[in-house]
Homo-oligomer: A and B are copies of this chain.
Amino acid sequence: MTETALGTTAICQVALVVKDVEKTAAAYAEVLGLPMPEIRVTGPEDETGIRYMGAPTEGRARLAFFDTGSVRLELIEPVSGPSVWLRHLKSHGEGVHHIAFRVPDMDRALAHASDKGLPAIQTGAFPGGCYAYLDSEPKLKVMLELLASKDA
């Protein structure tokens, strides 16, 4: 790790935005020979502290995860907005939404990203950790997500 890097170079997650998480999860389960995953729902703003473009949002999503080696495959069905998920579905349609890196120090990683011209566009928490989506599409052609554990 250099002083100016994110603290990791390992992709830990690939995530897609989809219209129907059950339907797409069932298709992956069939092709990969994996069990159908549980569908989870992101918590409300008063639990997650979600911020989109700097303001609290009602944006929520339904999620499914597959363990596909050392990276997890995440399927995201936006159910309300505004959010980066719903924006992506409207502007790009279904498809890959982000790739994620698990960072050891979120504040430091965010400072590095901002210094490289990649400010956070949506942030929030989930049980066990927090995340930040970076406005990285113009430079990197895909959105990056930073993930950190609460205890890290």
- A32–B101 Cα distance when bound, in Å, is 10
* Pairwise interchain contact B140-A11, C-beta atoms closer than 8 A: no
Known contacts A33-B4, A69-B70, A116-B31; is A140 also within 8 Å of B10 by CB? no
Chain A: interface size category = 35 or more
**B-binding residues in A (CB < 8 A):** 1-2, 4-6, 8-12, 14, 16, 18, 24, 27-28, 30-34, 66-71, 73, 92, 94-96, 99, 113, 116, 118, 136-137, 139-142, 144
* Pairwise interchain contact B5-A141, C-beta atoms closer than 8 A: no
Q: Contact partner of A33 among B6, B11, B141, CB < 8 A? A: B6
Q: Contact partner of A96 among B24, B96, B136, CB < 8 A? A: B96
- A4–B144 Cα distance when bound, in Å, is 34
User: In the complex, given contacts A9-B66, A24-B141, what are 20 additional A-B residue pairs having Cβ atoms less than 8 angstroms apart?
Assistant: A4-B33, A5-B33, A6-B31, A8-B69, A11-B14, A11-B69, A11-B71, A18-B141, A24-B139, A27-B139, A27-B140, A30-B116, A31-B113, A31-B118, A69-B70, A70-B70, A71-B71, A92-B95, A95-B137, A96-B142
Q: Contact partner of A28 among B2, B14, B140, CB < 8 A? A: B140
